[in-house]
Structure 1
Amino acid sequence: MRLIRADDALHPAFYRLVWQHHAREFTDLTPLQRSTCMDALALVEQGLRTHLTPDKINLASLGNVVPHLHWHVIARWGWDAHWPQPVWAAARRTPADERCAAVRARLPALDASLRAALHTRFGSRAQAA
C-alpha cells in the first residue's frame, strides 16, 4: 500500500491510503489482505490523532472516479471550511488560513512518523509519499 498526502488547500491533513495492487472493491481482497489494509488504516488514523489532535477523523472509500481501492483519511476540525459536512460538500465558511498554516507546519513530522510506522509494521509492502 501507498500513503499519499493530498494537496488540499482547505484540508491540510488529507491523506489517501492506496492498495498497491489493483482491486476495485474491498471484498476483492483476501481476508488476510483486508486485515492488513485495516491495520494500515488504523495506523494512519492513530498517527493523525496523536500528532494533530483533530476533532474528528473522516474515513471514506469511494473510488467512483478512480475504481481502484483506496481510503481517504482526513483530519477534521470544527473550524474547517466544511465542518460538520463532508469535505466534498459546499464550504460553509471562509477557511481558517492561520489554523491551516499551523497544521501544515506540523505535517513534516507527522509524515516522517507515518513513514516510519508503516515501514516498521509492513516493511517493503508499504510506501509513504
Structure 2
Amino acid sequence: MTPACELCSLLAGFDADAGQGGALLWRDARLAVVLVDEPAYPGFCRVVWHAHVKEMTDLPAAERSHIMDVVWQVELAQRDVMRAEKINVASFGNMTPHVHWHVIPRYRDDAHFPNPTWAAAQRQTPAEALAARRALLPQLRAAIVQRLAA
C-alpha cells in the first residue's frame, strides 16, 4: 500500500477504524468490499484489490477468478435485498492503480437512469425512494457478509 494513493488511504483508514468514504463490509488477504458513502446510490459497493495492480490481466488467473467471484456475490446480494431494476458492474481505474469494481444498484427513478451514474442527471430521485433504499442497507450488509463468509 502507498499512502499517496486514494484507495490505499481508504483501505488503511478502515484499519484505523476511520471509515472515511464508506463502510468496510468484508476483507480477506487480497481484497476488500466497501459500501460506498454515496447518498444518491444506496447499496453502491466497491470490490477493491489491495495491491497496486492496474489491469485485471496483470493478475494470475486464480486471482482474477477470486475477485470476480466476490463481485458476483456482491451483485447477488444486491439483487436479493435491494430489488433494483438493474445492477451496473464496472471497472475503470483511470485515476488509481488498483483493480477495483463498482457494483451499483440502479432504479428507473434514480437521477441518471438509464444513463451511467456519471452522466448528466435526468431527474431528482424521490426522497422517499432513497429513504426506503437506505433502510435496506443493514440487510444488504448482512447478506454480503453471509455470502462471502460461506
Once the two structures are TM-superposed, the CA of residue 89 in structure 1 deviates from its matched residue by 0.7
In structure 2, C-alpha distance between the alignment counterparts of 1:113 and 1:50, rounded to whole Å: 8
Normalized against structure 1, the TM-score is what?
0.89
After the TM superposition, which residues 26-37 of structure 1 pair with which residues of structure 2 at under 5 Å, given as runs? 26-37=56-67
Partner of 1:7: 37
Give the 5 Å matches for 1:65-80: 65-80=95-110
Q: TM-score, with normalisation over the residues of structure 2?
A: 0.77
Q: Percent identity?
A: 44
Which residue, out of 126, 132, 139, partners 1:109?
A: 139
Whole-Å separation in 2 of the counterparts to 1:114 and 1:85: 26
Aligned to 1:60: 90
CA distance in 1, matches of 2:146, 2:51: 22
Runs of 4+ in structure 1 off by over 2 angstroms are none
Look up the match of 2:53: 23
Which amino acid in structure 2 is aligned with residue 32 of structure 1? A
Q: In 2, Cα distance between the equivalents of 1:41 and 1:64?
A: 19
Question: Whole-Å Cα distance in 2 between the matches of residues 119 and 24 of structure 1?
Answer: 27
Deviation, structure 1 residue 43 = 0.5
- Does residue 39 of structure 1 match 2:69? yes
| Distance in structure 2 (CA, Å) of the matches to 1:88 and 1:95 | 15
- Name the CA distance, whole Å, in 2 between partners of 1:91 and 1:76: 13
Counterpart of 2:131 in structure 1: which amino acid? Answer: A
What residue ranges of structure 2 are gaps of 5+ in the alignment?
1-30
* 1:93 aligns to 2:100 (yes or no): no
